[in-house]
């Protein structure tokens, strides 16, 4: 066994696949998410297929004392984590003035505050040579009308990850921001959209492809991880185009997606 990994949001999507791929690479995992049944199913799959140990921690990361609970759990099981995957998060797709403010502030809490809180608590417990990977998004490189707060949280995660990468160099701990585009996961259901509208011209990737590339680049200690060759071109162009121009382009794409969602809702789809 190479070490222990802590994966938040491990019950589905990218988090689930990262836990599986970490097991393939020889890492035992602490699987953290709200859905205990899904975690137990994943634990059984990993144990049977890869003969490697993993622990299940059913927990709502958004809860007030979640970080303290995680630290206590690690100490109870005498586990030292050398890979921290901050994957838990969600989005919302609606005009800002019509959005549920409680949902938006909960999004900021989970996507940003809890990520920072857990990272801050874990760093002193991680050995030299460890890895941190925070799941951001290609959305973090641009303003996102109609998914305003989600895009903003991912911009925060991107900036935060790059900043602490530099700070942690003396500890030989790297911080990577994973910035996928659209991925075939449950995210769209939670965000009330079939995908991220601004990326309609970019083909959605499967989660296996994203996870494999993410870990490969994380172990190379890359600060920013883009998961498709076209994303490099997108990021390059975004640096050249003024943000006041990007906003309306994103808005137009998101409007089409939102109109389709409303049409599907009214037709009963």
CATH number at residue 105: 3.40.50.720
For 202-216, the pLDDT digits (tens) are: 557 899 999 999 999
**Structure token pair of residue 199:** 């990326």
> Per the structure, how many domains does the chain have?
1
Helix, coil or strand: residue 3: strand
| Cα distances (angstroms) measured from residue 151 to each of 71, 121, 197, 198, 215 | 29, 25, 12, 11, 23
As to burial, measured by CB atoms within 10 angstroms (0-12 exposed, 13-18 middle, 19+ buried), residue 230 is middle
Q: Quick one: pLDDT at residue 256?
A: 81
Q: What is the span of the domain harbouring residue 51? A: 3-266
Q: Is 150 a catalytic residue?
A: yes
Out of 114-118, 142-146, 149-153, 173-177, least confident range: 142-146
Verdict on whether the full-model pTM lies above 0.85: yes
Q: Is 251 a catalytic residue?
A: no
Strand partners, 205: 183
Exposed e or buried b per residue across 123-137, where buried means at least 16 C-beta atoms within 10 angstroms of its C-beta: beebeeebbbbbbbb
Q: How many Å separate Cα 87 from the centre of its chain? A: 3
Please check the confidence at residue 243 and state whether its pLDDT lies above 70.
yes
For 64-109, the pLDDT digits (tens) are: 999 999 999 999 999 999 999 999 999 998 999 999 999 999 999 9
Q: Quick one: pLDDT at residue 186?
A: 47
Which residue among 154, 172, 220, 265 is the active-site one?
Answer: 154
Q: In what order do the strands lie in the sheet with 27-33?
A: 54-58, 27-33, 3-8, 81-86, 131-135, 174-179, 224-226
Which residue among 27, 150, 151, 261 is the active-site one?
Answer: 150
| Integer Cα distance of 155 and 137 in angstroms | 8
Is residue 187 within 8 A of residue 91, CB to CB? The reply is yes
């Amino acid at each position: 066994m190479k070490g222990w990994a802590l994966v938040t949001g491990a019950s589905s999507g990218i988090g689930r696949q990262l836990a599986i791929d970490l097991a393939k690479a020889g890492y035992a995992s602490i699987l953290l998410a709200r859905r205990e049944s899904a975690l137990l199913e994943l634990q059984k799959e990993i144990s049977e297929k890869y003969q490697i140990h993993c622990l299940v921690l059913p927990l709502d990361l958004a809860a007030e004392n979640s970080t303290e609970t995680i630290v206590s759990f690690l100490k109870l099981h005498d586990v030292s984590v050398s890979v921290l995957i901050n994957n838990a998060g969600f989005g919302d797709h609606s005009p800002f003035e019509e959005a549920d403010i409680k949902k938006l502030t909960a999004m900021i809490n989970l996507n940003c505050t809890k990520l920072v809180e857990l990272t801050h608590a874990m760093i002193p417990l991680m050995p030299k040579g460890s890895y941190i990977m925070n799941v951001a998004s290609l959305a973090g490189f641009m303003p996102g009308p109609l998914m305003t707060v989600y895009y903003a949280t991912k911009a925060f995660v991107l900036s935060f990850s790059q900043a602490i990468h530099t700070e942690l160099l003396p500890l030989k701990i790297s911080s990577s921001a994973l910035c996928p585009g659209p991925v075939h996961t449950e995210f769209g259901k939670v965000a009330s959209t079939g995908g991220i509208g601004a990326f309609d011209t970019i083909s959605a990737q499967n989660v296996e492809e994203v996870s494999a590339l993410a870990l490969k680049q994380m172990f190379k200690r890359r600060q920013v991880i883009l998961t498709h060759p076209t994303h490099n071109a997108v990021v390059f162009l975004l640096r050249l185009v003024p943000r006041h121009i990007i906003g309306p382009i994103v808005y137009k794409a998101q409007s089409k997606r939102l109109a389709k969602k409303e049409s599907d809702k009214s037709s009963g789809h």
